[in-house]
Amino acid sequence: MTCWDPRIEEMSKDDLQALQYKHLKTLVYKLYSFSPFYHGRMKAANVHPDDIRSLQDIVKLPFMYKKDLRDNYPDKMFLGGQDELVRYHVSSGTTGKPTVVGYTQNDLNNWSESVARALTSIGLGRKDIIQISYGYGLFTGGLGLHYGAERIGATVVPASVGNTERQIELIQDLNVTAICCTPSYMVHLAETSKKMGVDIAKDTRLRTAVLGAEPWSEKMRRRIKELTGVKAYDIYGTSELSGPLFTECTEQNGIHVWGDLAYVEVLDPETGEQLGPGEKGELVVTMLQKEALPMIRYRIGDITSYDDSVCPCGRSHVRISRISGRVDDMLIIRGINVFPSQVEHTLLGIPELGEHFQIEVDRKGALDTMLVRVELKPTAFSDKVNDMMSIKNKVAHALHSSLNIAAEVELMEPGTLTRFEGKAKRVVDRRSFE
Amino acid sequence: MSYTIKQISIFAENRPGRLAAIADALEEEKINIYAFSIAEASGFGIIRALVSDPAKAHSKLTQLGYAVSFTDVIGVKMRDEPGGLKDIARIVGETGINIEYAYAYSGKKEAVLVVRVDQVEDAIRALQANGVHLLHESELA
Ligand SMILES: [Zn+2]
């Protein structure tokens, strides 16, 4: 497998850690000296840059939060002057003020470099024609992928969003081989092309999709493959970290996070303690080389786990799993962290059930109880009580083994659980914590 | 002449009014309920019924979103007097038929035990060989 930058991508773990430590040390001194915001944070936490004597000492450093960016709107957390900046991106916050991110020329270079490595890792290169169907403008998706794709010498079709029929014509007429867009837009594109009588697998050269900016699943990946024959890859990044930065490689077994650019930790969201490989928790990222808006131990709020073994593709850089939820959605039941997305994932694997569910958490005496209501699929119904009990037990068993906590299961008549538009309110927490 | 009878079975949550809702829906279609039973398990119930038009009942309830299925059952005629059930139970026991579930109702002429078994045709043959009288679907009304 070819690498964009083999020297970095196939670097030994030891060398990579030494490089990360060097960058971290520089970053901490710079922030302590020049960022009033982070200087204050470090003082409050009683840490001095001299206390950082190894990469592991990163745990001594205070966290940064989304709220910090809002509180310091628009640019009070920036380092250096306006003349250093070459671009702004602005993310629209669903709550409160937007977040402004500034970039120096080096920031843009590193961002493009990161995307160039990522696109190369999924097999794209000079012979590819890449349609960028993310929004161009204040949003980071369009321009981020645009410069990364140009860097690897691919031919870019800057289609941006909207006018799906025109997009499909472009894919046909310009022999587009790869598309970058949201997973829901990819499905929409597949459905629209079908209506137009265009068979993507036969009538176009589109074979690769780079999908991100919203949560998606393995189930959607299979659906896209079935509908279009296109192999879909997960891309990750948020505007605070620059924008879309990292993707899966052709192994499709985790997203490579380039260690020279970013240091990854996965923490228990409650205690802030670091978790080990494979354990699900909150992703915390330190951007090691960002200049205009440095981010140290930034608590993004996304749930993932990491794998730091060397990938079969040869790259030594840590891999994070598909984002499986948000910290805000997390429930703590009998001391165990439970994510609604885990419940959803488990239920999706049981063919006797419909796709809707509800989680009800209550407290009986000192004990938390969790009830999962699921709809029975009409075709799975049997007139025998034993058959129905075994479906119920199967669900309870599957939940217990994936959540590590016992859940009551209630089988519901099909169609009886409330349907929600948009983000489903699937959790009812009746506990009072006074 | 076949002695299998089509029963409709309906999945129902354990909450008040489910049976009434189902009965209302059938009444709306002018479907008579001849016999029914409810099996309750933890958190859910299964309603089983013999009705005048099983196909119509099935499509109506499916349309309303219920999980419904057809099940072939056997109607065993009993003497409507003390000991009637005991006789049948003894014969069934001797034939070695494995009964999934059974429920009784009082028919036009006699009491009937509705029996759900896995091997319906085998059970019919065994019961008849032992002199048991079975109910034909046409005798339901
Ligand atoms: Zn890899």
Of A381, A409, A410, the CB nearest to B67: A381
Total domain count, chain B: 2
User: Looking at the structure, do residues A258 and A380 belong to the same domain, yes or no?
Assistant: no
User: Looking at the structure, do residues A341 and A205 belong to the same domain, yes or no?
Assistant: no
CB contact under 8 A, A414 and B66: yes
User: Looking at the structure, do residues B54 and B26 belong to the same domain, yes or no?
Assistant: yes
User: Looking at the structure, do residues A97 and A217 belong to the same domain, yes or no?
Assistant: yes
User: Looking at the structure, do residues B8 and B65 belong to the same domain, yes or no?
Assistant: yes
User: Looking at the structure, do residues B42 and B87 belong to the same domain, yes or no?
Assistant: no
What are the phi and psi torsion angles at A143 (to 5°)?
Answer: -65, -35
Q: Which domain holds residue A425?
A: 336-429
Residue A60 lies in a domain: yes
CATH number, domain containing residue A306: 3.40.50.12780
User: Looking at the structure, do residues A317 and A340 belong to the same domain, yes or no?
Assistant: no
B contact test, residue of A371, A373, A413 with most B CBs within 10 A: A413
User: Looking at the structure, do residues A219 and A131 belong to the same domain, yes or no?
Assistant: yes
At which of B43, B72, B101 does a domain end?
A: B72
Tell me the DSSP string of A323-384: P-EEGGG-EEETTEEE-HHHHHHHHHT-TTEEEEEEEEEEEETTEEEEEEEEEEPGGG--S-
User: Looking at the structure, do residues B94 and B115 belong to the same domain, yes or no?
Assistant: yes
A216-265 residue pLDDT tens: 888 889 989 999 999 999 999 999 999 999 999 999 999 999 999 999 99
Q: With H, G, I as helix, E, B as strand and everything else as coil, classify residue A239.
A: helix
In this prediction, residue B91 carries a pLDDT of 84
User: Looking at the structure, do residues A225 and A365 belong to the same domain, yes or no?
Assistant: no
User: Looking at the structure, do residues B16 and B60 belong to the same domain, yes or no?
Assistant: yes
User: Looking at the structure, do residues A395 and A263 belong to the same domain, yes or no?
Assistant: no
Residue B67 distance to chain A (closest CA, Å): 4
Give the C-alpha separation, A368 to A346, whole Å: 21
User: Looking at the structure, do residues B66 and B11 belong to the same domain, yes or no?
Assistant: yes
* Complex prediction ipTM: 0.89
User: Looking at the structure, do residues A146 and A222 belong to the same domain, yes or no?
Assistant: yes
User: Looking at the structure, do residues A92 and A72 belong to the same domain, yes or no?
Assistant: yes
Residue B60 distance to chain A (closest CA, Å): 14
CATH number, domain containing residue B32: 3.30.2130.10
pLDDT at B51 over 70: yes
User: Looking at the structure, do residues B96 and B53 belong to the same domain, yes or no?
Assistant: no
Total domain count, chain A: 2
A contact test, residue of B13, B38, B60 with most A CBs within 10 A: B13
User: Looking at the structure, do residues A10 and A32 belong to the same domain, yes or no?
Assistant: yes
At which of B72, B97, B118 does a domain end?
A: B72
A29-86 residue pLDDT tens: 999 999 999 999 999 999 999 999 999 999 999 999 988 998 999 999 999 999 999 9
At which of A327, A357, A390 does a domain end?
A: A327
Q: Is B44 on the interface with A (CB under 8 A)?
A: yes
Determine how many CB atoms are found less than 10 A away from the CB of residue A147. Answer: 18
User: Looking at the structure, do residues B63 and B9 belong to the same domain, yes or no?
Assistant: yes
pTM (global) more than 0.90: no
Q: Which domain holds residue B127?
A: 73-139
CB-side neighbour CA atoms (13 Å) of A38: 26
Q: Is B60 on the interface with A (CB under 8 A)?
A: no
Give the C-alpha separation, B97 to B117, whole Å: 7
Residue A434 lies in a domain: no
Residue A237 lies in a domain: yes
At which of B47, B72, B97 does a domain end?
A: B72
Residue A421 lies in a domain: yes
> Judging by beta carbons within 10 Å of its beta carbon (0-12, 13-18, 19+), is residue A337 exposed, middle or buried?
buried
Q: Please name the residue that has the structure tokens 């669900």.
A: A395
At which of A327, A359, A393 does a domain end?
A: A327
Per-residue pLDDT of chain A (434 residues; tens, 9 = 90+): 599 999 999 999 999 999 999 999 999 999 999 999 999 999 999 999 999 999 999 999 999 998 899 899 999 999 999 999 999 999 876 556 789 999 999 999 999 999 999 999 999 999 999 999 999 999 999 999 999 999 999 999 999 998 999 999 999 999 999 999 998 899 889 989 999 999 999 999 999 999 998 888 888 899 899 999 999 999 999 999 999 999 999 999 999 999 999 999 999 998 999 999 999 999 999 999 999 999 999 999 999 999 999 999 999 999 999 998 888 888 888 888 888 888 988 998 899 998 889 999 998 887 889 999 999 999 999 999 999 999 999 999 999 998 888 999 999 999 888 876 555 678 888 887 65
User: Looking at the structure, do residues B56 and B92 belong to the same domain, yes or no?
Assistant: no
